[in-house]
Structure 1
Amino acid sequence: MALLLLAQIASGDSGRVELIAHPEVGAQLLTRDTTRAIFAMRQRTWPDGQAVRVFVLANEHEDHVRFVKERLAVYPHQLQLAWDRVVFSGTGQAPTRVTSPTEMRERVATTPGSLGYLATEHLDERVQVITME
């Protein structure tokens, strides 16, 4: 993990927002479609059957906007509409909102099955980076 961080910083990629998961999550690679389905709350389990617990920052947070636009290829308001649909239809729950990147890192690091995102400058060894293809 430390080498990954050093490589990203050296390459000028320190502002990138990475997909992160609890360290015991078995999946280390997700497609964009799968990631989008998880964040839209349409897919609720990991491939091994473990429940996914999704954490997000506020819709206006710079890291949320960058992650949603650059990594999921949708707009924040589109994701919010997906959450509203599952909540109002009674078919699911919205993701858990956190107030800061620090809280995001702590919650993902300590919640089994969790998934979130962080700018590279907030990463540490307590969470794993998930590669998106």
Structure 2
Amino acid sequence: MAMLKRTLAAVLAACAVSAAAAAEVGELVVIVSARTPLTMLRTDQAAGIFLGESYSLPDGGEAVALDQSVGSPLRDEFYRKVAHRSPALMKAYWTKMIFTGRGQPPREAPSSAAVRRLVADNPGMVGYIERAALDPTVRPVLVLK
């Protein structure tokens, strides 16, 4: 009985930590440069771009994915919502893609501000940031709730 109580307590603590981490992330938005004509992106289109399955935007323009750093709560939440994959599954996915020569993971930036700056300066880039980090240099094309 004591072991069951400890196990239950550990599970509840893990759930609380998970919920707290998710609450810290806030609302994520997929962004493009304000100079890009694209106004909307579907979740499956974003997944294709970030999983290396598509290299073009729906309007035919070039799409270059820009990730947050490995281990970032934003990155983990983004891939859970867009690709329905955990960090471990994403690591396995890119390991396989690299090993088979079918792709390379997206370039990384260390923060939402860095992602925003790079996307703003490069009309072909697609990134994701917290909604609170938006400014007029980028355009949100997908809101992830």
Report if the CA contact (8 A) 1:29-1:132 is conserved.
no
Q: How does 1:14-53 map to 2 (within 5 A)?
A: 15-53=26-64
Report if the CA contact (8 A) 1:24-1:113 is conserved.
no
Any idea what SS the aligned residue of 2:129 has?
A: strand
For residue 16 of structure 1, report the CA deviation from its aligned partner: 0.5
The alignment-based identity, stated in percent, is 23
RMSD: 2.1
Q: Which amino acid in structure 1 is aligned with residue 103 of structure 2?
A: G
Q: Does 1:80 align with 2:91?
A: yes
Report if the CA contact (8 A) 1:84-1:94 is conserved.
no
For residue 120 of structure 1, what is the aligned residue in structure 2?
131
For residue 132 of structure 1, report the CA deviation from its aligned partner: 5.3
Aligned pair count reads 120
For residue 141 of structure 2, what is the aligned residue in structure 1?
130
Q: Which has the larger share of helix? A: 2
Structure 2's unaligned 5+ residue stretches are 1-24
After the TM superposition, which parts of structure 1 deviate over 4 Å for at least 4 consecutive aligned residues?
Answer: none
Q: Which whole-Å CA distance do the structure 2 matches of 1:70 and 1:94 have between them?
A: 18
Output the TM-score relative to the length of structure 2.
Answer: 0.72
Residues 31-64 of structure 1, C-alpha deviation per residue, up to 9 Å, x if partnerless?
A: 2211111110111111233221111112211111
Output the TM-score relative to the length of structure 1.
Answer: 0.77
Name which one, 1 or 2, has greater alpha-carbon Rg: 2
Q: Which whole-Å CA distance do the structure 1 matches of 2:38 and 2:90 have between them?
A: 23
For residue 20 of structure 2, what is the aligned residue in structure 1?
none
